[in-house]
Structure 1
Amino acid sequence: MTFTITSESLVRDIVNELPKSSDIFKKNRIDFCCGGNIPLSQAAAQNNLDLDPILDELKVVFEKYENEEKDVEVWTGSDSETIINHVITNYHRVSEEELTLLSPYVTKVSRVHGEHHPELIKMNELFYEFKRELLEHMEKEEAIVFPLIKQLADGTVPNREEAIQMIAELEKEHDHAGEILRQIRAVTSDFELPLDACGTYRLVYARLEALENLTFMHVHLENNILFPRYLD
Structure 2
Amino acid sequence: MTFTITANSLVRDIVNELPKASDIFKKNRIDFCCGGNIPLSQAAEQNGLKVNNIIEELKDVFEKYENTEKNVDVWTDSDSYTIINHVINNYHRVSEEELTMLSPYVTKVSRVHGEHHPELIKMNELFYEFKKELLEHMAKEEEIVFPLIKQLADGTAPHPEEAIKMIVELEKEHDHAGEILRQIRAVTSDFALPADACGTYRLVYARLEALEGLTFMHVHLENNILFPRFLS
Q: Same fold (TM over 0.5)?
A: yes
Q: Corresponding residue for 2:59?
A: 59
- Could you tell me which residue of structure 2 aligns to residue 118 of structure 1? 118
Q: Which stretch shows the higher mean deviation, 200-209 or 64-73?
A: 64-73
Aligned equivalents of 1:198, 1:156: Cα separation in 2: 55
Query: Structure 2 CA distance, aligned partners of 1:182 and 1:67?
Result: 25
1:2 partner amino acid: T
- Once the two structures are superposed, residues 47-68 of structure 1 have per-residue CA deviations (whole angstroms, 9 ceiling, x without a partner) of 1222111111111112223421
Quote how far apart the aligned CAs of 1:2 are: 2.7
1:88 aligns with 2:57: no
Question: Per the alignment, in what secondary structure is the counterpart of residue 30 of structure 1?
Answer: coil
Cα deviation code 1:89-146 (max 9, x no counterpart): 0100010010011001101101110000000000000000000000000000000000
In the alignment, structure 1 residue 156 sits paired with structure 2 residue 156: yes
Whole-Å separation in 1 of the counterparts to 2:66 and 2:123: 28
- Answering whether residue 97 of structure 2 is matched by residue 97 of structure 1, we say yes
The SS at the match of 1:158 is coil
Moved more, 49-58 or 85-94: 49-58
Match of 1:42 in 2: 42
Q: Residues of 2 paired with 1:27 and 1:84: CA distance?
A: 32
Distance 2:42 2:31 in 1: 11
1:8 match: secondary structure? coil
* Equivalent residue, structure 1, for 2:133: 133
Runs of 4+ with >6 A deviation: none
Q: Give the 3-state SS of the residue equivalent to 1:102 in structure 2.
A: helix
SS in 2 for 1:178: helix
Corresponding residue SS for 1:31? coil
Question: What TM-score comes out, normalization by structure 2 length?
Answer: 0.98
Task: Output one character per residue of 1:131-184: Cα deviation in whole Å (capped at 9) or x when no partner.
Answer: 000000000000000000000111111111111100000000000000000000
**Which residue identity is paired with 2:67?**
N
Cα distance change on mapping 1:163 and 1:74 into 2, 3 Å: same
Local SS of the residue matching 1:115: coil
Aligned-residue CA RMSD (Å) = 0.9
Q: Which amino acid aligns with 2:96?
A: E
- Please state how far the C-alpha of 1:73 moved relative to its aligned partner: 2.0
Output the CA distance in 2 between the equivalents of 1:67 and 1:14. 17
Q: Which residue of 2 aligns with 1:31?
A: 31
Q: Equivalent residue for 2:206?
A: 206
Matching residue's letter, 1:130: F
Pairwise CA distance, 1:230: 0.8
Identity %: 86
CA deviations 1:17-42 (Å, max 9, x no partner) are: 11000000000011100111111111
Unaligned runs of 5+ in 1: none
Output aligned runs, 1:139-150, within 5 Å: 139-150=139-150
Uncovered stretches (5+) of structure 2, i.e. residues with no partner: none
* Farther off after superposition, 40-49 or 194-203: 40-49
1:202 is displaced (CA, Å) by 0.5
Which position in structure 1 is the counterpart of 2:215?
215
Q: Distance in 2 between matches of 1:88 and 1:214?
A: 13
**How far apart in 1 are the matches of 2:24 and 2:150?**
38
